[in-house]
Structure formats: C-alpha cells, structure tokens
Amino acid sequence: MTDATMLDQALTRLDEAAAHLHLDGDVLEKLKYPRETTKVRLMIRMDDGSRKSFMAWRCRYDDTRGPTKGGIRFHPDSTIEEVETLAFWMTMKCAVMNLPYGGGKGAVRVDPHSLSKAELERLSRAYMQAFSKIVGPDRDIPAPDVYTNSMIMGWMADEYASIVGQSTPAVITGKPISLGGSLGRDDATARGGYYLVRNLASELGLTPGARVAIQGFGNAGQHIASLLGADGYKIVAVSDSKGAIHNDAGLDVAKLLAAKKTGSVLQLAGTDGIKAIDADQITAVDCEILVPAALEDLIHKDNAADIKARVVLELANGPITPEADVILAEKNVVVLPDILANAGGVTVSYFEWVQNRQGYYWTAEEVRSRLQETMDREGRAVWNLAQDRGITIRSAAYVHALARVAGAIEAHGTQKFFTS
C-alpha cells in the first residue's frame, strides 16, 4: 500500500460501518476529509552552527465531539497522508471509547536519533512555536507518539506556557509527572489491551498458558509481555528492530526486558533453547494470541493466510490491511481492532487532561480502575454488537464509533458544518 492510498483504505472501514446504520449522507461526506491540516517548515540551529529545516504537520480531522486529540511523532518517513490517516483513526478511537474528543495527529519528518539532545529540544520547541495557534486545551491536545516521549512533551508544554504567558498543563498530555502528567500513563496502551483480553477471555477461548507472539518490543510490547506473562500466558516469540526470537517452551519476560535495555532481544538467541528467526516469520508463529505492537500494514494479503493465532490484539495502529482482514475473517481469526485494543493510551491521556483541568490528581490505582471500567464497558458493548449483527469485531467497533459521531453531527445540525 502506498501513502497516497492510505486514507482511502482507512475510509473503507467507515463505508463498511455505514452499511449497518441509517445515516444522513452528509455525515459520511463530512468525514471523507479532515477539517484542517496545517503544514509548516521548521528551521532550527544545529550544534555546529548551521541551520536545517524539517517538514511538520498538524491535522485536526474532526472536532464534532470535542477538541481534537492525538499524538506527535518524529519519524524520517512521516507524510501528510500518514498524519491525516492517523487523525481519522483517532477520531474513531475517541468515539468508540466515548471520550469527549475528536481526532488529531501531528508529525515531523526527522530521524530523532540523528539529533543531539539540544537539537531535539530546539526542534520540539520550534514545533510548538509553529502550531501554538492550532493547539490549546479546548481546541487540540497533543500527546507522545512514535519516537516522542514525556521529556519532549514537557519541552512543548513549557514552550506553550511561554507563548501564552501562563502555565497551561492541559494543553498537552503524556507529560512528566512533575509537570502535571498522570500516574498510570506509561503502560496505559498495553494495559488497556490487557484488560480487553481479560474481559473477553472466556468468549475468545483463552486460558492461562495460552501462547503469545509479540511483534515489536517497544513500550507497548514490553508492557503487554509483562502483563500477560504475570497472568500465566506464555510468551513464545518476540521481535524488535534487530530481529526476532522464538521458544515454544516460553521466554523469560525478565530476561527479555533486560536484553532490550542493553540492546536487542536477539542477544538471547542460542541460550535456554531460544532460536533466532526471521523478523517476518513472527506473524506465522504457532500461538493463540498474536500482538502487532509496532508496524502499520504488518499483516497483508500476502501473509495473512499464514497466521496461526486465534486472536490478533492490535496494539499498533493499522497493522492489518483491509484485504488481510477479509482473509483472517474467512479463517475465523478474531481481530481485536486498534481503535479499541490500543485505546488505553488516549483514555489515560483524557484522564490526565481531566486532572489538569481540575487541579486534582488521582492515584495510580484510581487511574487503572477507571481505565479497566472504561475498557470493560466499551469492549463488552462492541463484542455484543458484533454478535447481534453477525459482523467482525472491527466492523462492530466502527459501527459503535460512527453512531456516536453521527449522533453528534446531527445534534449540532448540518448548517453548522455545511454551506450552500
């Protein structure tokens, strides 16, 4: 799939969901394109005294249900098509979780590993300077994404405070705890997926001892391994950017985390019966749960038939193409879709925003309890909808989300959004 078709393919999910709802045609027309996308050039001073420019974007896809919400990624392959597609997914993700947000996304086309810490800070502050009129606690609230973190969010929040002349912690989420961040944010994406699996385990036919393969061993991959491993699930395969390892007898999660901290999980190959495998082979590992936790389009029409897992838990955004979805459905593989499965991150970001607005902060236990309540409620609603309609979990999630967005559009009245 090329970048040029990325949003079109994402919108096929919307068309499928619309077939199960009686919608005014204006609703789909409104959601075909983003509300606004801003493109800027960021120019920063490098450590050697030279100046270098970087392309940057911020998309506010739809704000019918509230201010837009979505991360900022720093990646050398970022494009405007990717940003707009991710913002569309965020619109659906916030709706499926019933958060009072629309979807947004931002990016800078840069390899952050090529920058010094000082250069990275200058780039982060330049981004906020460029988009300070776009973002705001009641308009558009960024958060961390690929290759960005709480430190970068802290720099951006500080820059925004300098621009507006006052501390405004609710302008951005995923901040350091000392700057108004929320406890429980570090593992929220994985924990939300874990709660979803635990809540639906009986229906999915999953029991402790079930085998798990995890593609991508970054933040989400490491935390889901820890959470499922502690619950008695057996982690049998893991991959990262350097390669993949497999042991059907199970991998020691503590050793995986230690190896990743010093480099790559590939260091464990050749020990304790662990074998190195090609990274592309991880999708075909014999297991009960496959967890794509990194790449978009990981599972496509050319490898979907090789999937042996009964359940796919999408912790990554868009890891399965629409063509692969059809193949997996024919194989009776249950896909727990990204807009539901990885929504723990944006849900706890919402909790952080609420705490910032209130000036009252919750304990980690309170955050996790509220996250579990939200994941259980919405996960069960989507599951029941899928069973009632005889549709896939992904289609049910989009029907669930689209119904909420459509209801908001209709409640506002079409004259707010359309002119003759």
Catalytic site positions: 105
Between CA 173 and CA 357 the distance in angstroms is 12
Between CA 307 and CA 330 the distance in angstroms is 12
What is the SS3 assignment for the chain? CCHHHHHHHHHHHHHHHHCCCCCCHHHHHHHCCCCEEEEEEEEEECCCCCEEEEEEEEEEEECCCCCEEEEEEEECCCCHHHHHHHHHHHHHHHHHCCCCCEEEEEEEECCHHHCCHHHHHHHHHHHHHHHCCCCECCCEEEEECCCCCHHHHHHHHHHHHHHHCCCCHHHCCCCCHHHCCCCCCCCHHHHHHHHHHHHHHHHHCCCCCCEEEEECCCHHHHHHHHHHHHCCCEEEEEEECCEEEECCCCCCHHHHHHHHHHCCHHHHCCCCCCEEECHHHHHHCCCCEEEECCCCCCECCCCHHHCCCCEEECCCCCCECHHHHHHHHHCCCEEECHHHHCCHHHHHHHHHHHHHHHCCCCCHHHHHHHHHHHHHHHHHHHHHHHHHHCCCHHHHHHHHHHHHHHHHHHHHCHHHCCCC
Between CA 159 and CA 44 the distance in angstroms is 15
Angle between helical axes of 6-18 and 80-96 (0-180°, round to 10):
30
